[in-house]
Homo-oligomer: A and B are copies of this chain.
Amino acid sequence: MTDVQMQDANGDANGSTAYGKAAVNGLLKEESKPAAPKQTNKEDLQLVLQSFRLLIADLCQQFGMGHPGGAIGMAAFGVALWKYTMRYAPHSPDWFNRDRFILSNGHTCLFQYANLYLSGYKAMTWEQLLSYHSERPDSLCPGHPEIEHEGIELTTGPLGQGISNAVGLAIATKHLAATFNRPGYEVVNNHTWCSIGDACLQEGVGCEALSYAGHLKLNNLTVIYDNNQITCDGSVDLTNTEDVNKKVEACGWEVIDVMDGVNDIEGIVAALEKGRDPNRTKPLFINVRSIIGVGSAVAGQAVSHGAPLGKDNVAAMKKAYGWDTEKVFHIPDKVKNFYADIPARGEKHVQEWNDLLARYNNEHPDLSKTFKDRMAGNLPDNWASMIPSSFPSDPTPSRKSNNMVVGKIFAECPTFMVGTADLTPSVNMTWPSYEIFNPPDLKPISGKQGSYKGRYIHYGIREHVMAAIANGLAAYSPRTIIPITSTFFMFYLYAAPAVRMGALQKLKVIHVATHDSIGAGEDGPTHQPVELAALYRAMPNMEYIRPGDSEEVAGAWKRAIEYEGGPTMISVSRQAIPQLSGLTSRDGVARGAYVLREEKVADVTLISAGAELSFARDVAAVLEREHKLKARVVSFPCYKLFREQPLSYQRSVLRRNEGIPAVVIEPYVSLGWERWADAGVNMKGFGHSLPGKYIYQHFGFETGVMAGRVGDFVREFEGGKVGRGDFVEL
């Protein structure tokens, strides 16, 4: 296809090319438009591809490690993206309206590193590129792309995550565009490009992402399928023989085939330009046939995936290309020149956008101010004052306390995009005037019609992609959108790989986990997360908070909205729980644990948290009345926050250093509590299906029973029968 034909092909579809359309909106003038591939002769393009492939091969050879095959096979669509299609600015890597690129097949990270180097990202120096798999801990070329580094939008690697993040990025664009764009002023119109391999199509979370992106009609999202038909175990057909195009079409995508993904840069560019066509009504899936490790002796074979090609193979590749077999890490000047215009072109994109923004500011000054605040990640100054200073004293399910605490904030601060995995009636995360995020032309059989301005997301019964999309929303730009997810706590196990990726990337996502502990009652052990808290309490950067009443729920949200080091999970009850008014403290939550009831001379410290906090208070009363034992009571909503307190504070709360034994009461398994307690009234196995009013009793969480056990333990401890270091399961 010639360049002219390409223009025609675009023109046929929508009356103007994507670039033409954008220019109308003042975004792109002729000078910032990249030259089409036709303007470079075929031999030079071949040299660029050869150079790229050999660079990858040499980089893996250097330290005898790495994943060469995929990156080599993807060379042509690297050129198509970085040279011809994407709008980005290597010297302004954080430009707000840049196109986002996600490498969902993250093990091919060299593909991205080499393209970042070639297109002129300043941080990715030649020396840095060569540090791949070296001993340098400060290498910008880790084994998978990491968000901390210039030009990388999100950390990828665990398969299926990147494509889900890309859906989040595309939602962010859609939402911000619907909110802030005005006729003639497309201040947000970036495109999201995502490359995937076979794995992202097999992983469940990838399937969820395809299904939901199709439903949302995200026409600003293009997925490039590196279809090399090879995975670690061999050819894909060993394990997957589905009709990928048909499946993706069934999910609501448009599909384009590119038959020669190895060399047909023009064809790939034409397909990618279809992606940017604003008249498309669906996300675009480009099925690019490629060859893993192409040009080498192991081309098309699984062995080229995860290990260097081998010295002789690389030499043979160079020979076949007519290159000097002795030269390593060689990039011909012609290739360097080929990429040389990209930084300047990028700065022109930025300048044009800045000019647009200046005109937008004149025409729509109020909107422009809000937009700038959102870009800067500012919440309204008075957000904290929207949290009530006190709460009703009657027993309240803490899932309802949530809404009392943040309902007004959600309604008034457009930064928050709140979603649920099909549990709207259970999680209480809506507000009176909430609008659904959905394609504006969708008229659902039940429920409200939505729009892309909507901030309430029905993720469907797709917990995993919900959390992964939230990561994408959060990564679009810091605090421009703060995503909230919600489902039963138990089903954050489905979402866990994505929640973890948020923690690893320190992304500001707030997860609302309802129906925690065993209060799910009659739903039974499949819905009672007795062991799951251990995972989130162990997860670095994650603040897992179990607030004990509405006041503590207020503390949990205040902390969550202020916390910039990663995600928060607020873990709340299904059932109504007593309000410990006058005892609980929102500031106490921020310290992780605090004293709820002090006794100068004490026999025992009772620790509890969340839905069962009142149990500790009640047991203390019975211990005093019936067992003549003085009990202190500690509320302990968050391990991480308490671990970060100085030892002196920790000791003042627990007073174990004074020889007072501590007993925890929580219907999770004890694992984790042994750090803070000497004994525990905990679950010893999975839960049971019994209505809420019977379930606690069934497992011995009755006040009298617990007091008896604690009393026995205190006497054994005082008598030296058990000591510190013998954690006792009561």
Q: A232-B425, A493-B500, A725-B657 are in contact. Are A698 and B137 (CB under 8 A)?
A: yes
For A651, give the chain B residue with the smallest CB separation: B726
Stretch of A51-59, A141-149, A314-322, A334-342 lying at the B interface: A141-149
* A3 is an interface residue with CB less than 8 A from chain B: no
* A645 is an interface residue with CB less than 8 A from chain B: no
* A278 is an interface residue with CB less than 8 A from chain B: no
Q: Which of B137, B306, B672 is A672 in contact with, Cβ under 8 Å?
A: B672
A523 to B144: give the CA distance in the assembly, Å: 7
Contact A685 B493 (CB under 8 A): no
Contact A531 B526 (CB under 8 A): no
Q: 1/0 per position for A220-233, CB-CB distance to B under 8 A?
A: 00000000011111
Contact A205 B204 (CB under 8 A): yes
For A500, give the chain B residue with the smallest CB separation: B493
Contact B242 A252 (CB under 8 A): yes
Q: Which of B534, B540, B647, B693 is A535 in contact with, Cβ under 8 Å?
A: B534
Contact A250 B242 (CB under 8 A): yes
* A691 is an interface residue with CB less than 8 A from chain B: yes
How near does chain B come to A171, taking the closest CB pair, in angstroms?
A: 13
Q: A232-B423, A239-B212, A647-B726 are in contact. Are A526 and B501 (CB under 8 A)?
A: yes
Within 8 A of B (CB), among A507-565: 521-527, 530-532, 534-535, 537-541
A251 to B157: give the CA distance in the assembly, Å: 26
Among A146, A423, A540, A656, find the residue whose CB has the most chain B CB atoms closer than 10 A.
A540
Stretch of A441-449, A607-615, A627-635 lying at the B interface: A441-449
A208 to B210: give the CA distance in the assembly, Å: 13
Residues of chain B contacted by A240 (CB below 8 angstroms) = 211-212, 215, 460
* A494 is an interface residue with CB less than 8 A from chain B: yes
Stretch of A32-40, A195-203, A269-277 lying at the B interface: A195-203
Contact B207 A208 (CB under 8 A): yes
Residues of chain B contacted by A424 (CB below 8 angstroms) = 232-234
* A249 is an interface residue with CB less than 8 A from chain B: yes
* A688 is an interface residue with CB less than 8 A from chain B: yes
A532 to B532: give the CA distance in the assembly, Å: 11
* A724 is an interface residue with CB less than 8 A from chain B: yes
Contact B144 A689 (CB under 8 A): yes
A522 to B137: give the CA distance in the assembly, Å: 10
Among A233, A234, A425, A490, find the residue whose CB has the most chain B CB atoms closer than 10 A.
A233
* A669 is an interface residue with CB less than 8 A from chain B: yes
How near does chain B come to A308, taking the closest CB pair, in angstroms?
A: 12
Among A500, A525, A647, A678, find the residue whose CB has the most chain B CB atoms closer than 10 A.
A525
Q: Which of B205, B525, B724 is A504 in contact with, Cβ under 8 Å?
A: B525
* A301 is an interface residue with CB less than 8 A from chain B: yes
Contact B461 A203 (CB under 8 A): yes
Contact A538 B669 (CB under 8 A): yes
Contact B232 A725 (CB under 8 A): no
* A68 is an interface residue with CB less than 8 A from chain B: no
Residues of chain B contacted by A656 (CB below 8 angstroms) = 725-726
Q: 1/0 per position for A672-714, CB-CB distance to B under 8 A?
A: 1011001000011110111101100010000000000000000
A158 to B464: give the CA distance in the assembly, Å: 13
Residues of chain B contacted by A302 (CB below 8 angstroms) = 425, 446
Residues of chain B contacted by A208 (CB below 8 angstroms) = 202-204, 207
Residues of chain B contacted by A133 (CB below 8 angstroms) = 522, 691
Contact A675 B727 (CB under 8 A): yes
* A438 is an interface residue with CB less than 8 A from chain B: yes
A444 to B233: give the CA distance in the assembly, Å: 11
Residues of chain B contacted by A324 (CB below 8 angstroms) = none
15 additional A-B pairs beyond A199-B422, A238-B436, A503-B686, beta carbons within 8 Å, are A65-B691, A156-B526, A158-B527, A198-B461, A203-B462, A205-B494, A214-B242, A235-B446, A500-B531, A530-B540, A531-B539, A531-B540, A671-B671, A674-B675, A678-B725
Name the 3 nearest CB pairs between A and B, nearest first: A204-B204, A142-B689, A207-B207
List 25 A-B residue pairs with CB atoms under 8 Å apart, sorted by A's residue number. A65-B691, A66-B522, A133-B691, A137-B688, A137-B694, A139-B689, A142-B524, A142-B688, A157-B527, A160-B204, A198-B461, A203-B461, A203-B462, A204-B206, A204-B462, A212-B239, A232-B423, A234-B444, A237-B442, A246-B250, A247-B251, A493-B496, A493-B500, A534-B538, A674-B675
